């Protein structure tokens, strides 16, 4: 396949020119008992995003899924998602783009004063396990690399648009080695995330399952929740859509 780059990676890497979804393919590998496997596709025909959305995945992007079987408590699984966002942001930064992370795990381009961040990449994690043990965990990363933003949803930007086409081999290699290092040092994930985020310190509105929370984002918890100061008190939201207000 076009993407076959013979990487020396800490994962067994499988390449496809086209797949419905690399996360779905990684789930098949998980069912077969695989671990430390990565699936990369040049194009996805049924890419999936967070909150049951679709994910446009034309040829030229970096669409990949990393399968692990971590022996950690399921409550710590969100650290893997944060690690995916940190690894992606670092890989993008090594390609020369000043990207930051918007909670929970969007890699965005931040303007000076603007809150109108354009999105470069997103992370979708899926896992299976029991209350005390994770069976498998898949971190899926969609990174708009060598594609035109006109092919993507509104508000998206791409590496092509920002710095021209990149060597996807180098970017994927950087991403996989950063992710591997982070999963080997889970204590370091939240500090690394904090260093790269654009959300802490901002006024935000999060549409969480229990209703909208508006206030100043002050921290992220060990399980990836966003701590928001609403005036009277601090609230932690575990998941939701976050808008930066100012």
Q: 135-174: which residues touch ligand BTN (CB under 6 A)?
A: 140-142
Query: By beta-carbon distance, which residue lies closest to ligand BTN?
Result: 122
Q: How far is the CB of 26 from ligand BTN (least distance, A)?
A: 8
CB 21 to ligand BTN: min, Å: 3
**The dihedral formed by the CA atoms of 51, 60, 34 and 7, expressed in degrees to the nearest 10:** -140
In this structure, what are the phi and psi dihedrals at residue 82, rounded to the nearest 5 degrees? -60, -40
**Residue in 15, 63, 80, 103 binding ligand BTN, rule: CB under 6 A:** 63
Structure tokens at 187: 């204590």
* 50 touches ligand BTN (CB under 6 A): yes
Q: Which residues contact 51 (CB under 8 A, 6 or more apart)?
A: 241
Please identify, among the stretches 74-82, 120-128, 197-205, 223-231, the one whose residues bind ligand BTN according to the rule CB under 6 A. Answer: 120-128
The binder of ligand BTN chosen from 67, 124, 189, 198 (CB under 6 A): 124
Residues 6+ apart with CB under 8 A from 83: 139, 179, 182, 183, 186, 189
Q: Does 21 bind ligand BTN (CB under 6 A)?
A: yes
Stretch that binds ligand BTN, among 43-51, 163-171, 172-180, 202-210 (CB under 6 A): 43-51
Q: Residue-wise over 58-90: b if at least 16 C-beta within 10 A, else e?
A: bbbbbbbbbbbebeeebeebbbbbbbbbbbbbb
- Return residues touching ligand BTN (CB under 6 A): 21-23, 44, 47-50, 53, 55, 57, 63-65, 106, 122-124, 140-142
């Amino acid at each position: 396949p076009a993407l076959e780059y013979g990487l020396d990676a800490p994962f067994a890497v499988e390449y496809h020119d086209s797949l419905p979804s690399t996360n779905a393919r990684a789930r098949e590998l998980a069912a077969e008992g695989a671990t430390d496997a990565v699936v990369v596709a040049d194009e996805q025909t049924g890419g999936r995003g967070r909150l049951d959305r679709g994910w446009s995945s034309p040829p030229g992007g970096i669409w990949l899924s990393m399968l692990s079987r971590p022996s950690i408590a399921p409550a710590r699984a969100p650290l893997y998602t944060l690690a995916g966002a940190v690894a992606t942001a670092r890989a993008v930064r090594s390609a020369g783009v000043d990207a930051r992370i918007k909670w929970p795990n969007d890699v965005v381009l931040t303007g000076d004063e603007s809150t109108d961040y354009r999105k470069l990449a997103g992370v979708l994690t899926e896992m299976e396990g029991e209350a005390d043990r994770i069976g498998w965990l898949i971190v899926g990363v969609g990174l708009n690399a060598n594609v035109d933003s006109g092919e993507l949803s509104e508000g998206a930007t791409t590496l092509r648009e920002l710095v021209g086409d990149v060597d996807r081999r180098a970017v994927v290699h950087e991403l996989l080695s950063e992710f591997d290092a982070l999963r080997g040092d889970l204590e370091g994930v939240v500090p690394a995330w904090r260093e790269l985020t654009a959300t802490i310190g901002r006024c935000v509105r999060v549409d969480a399952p229990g209703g909208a929370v508006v206030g100043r984002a002050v921290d992220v918890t060990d399980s990836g929740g966003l701590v928001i100061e609403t005036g009277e008190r601090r609230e932690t939201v575990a998941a939701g859509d976050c808008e930066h207000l100012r």
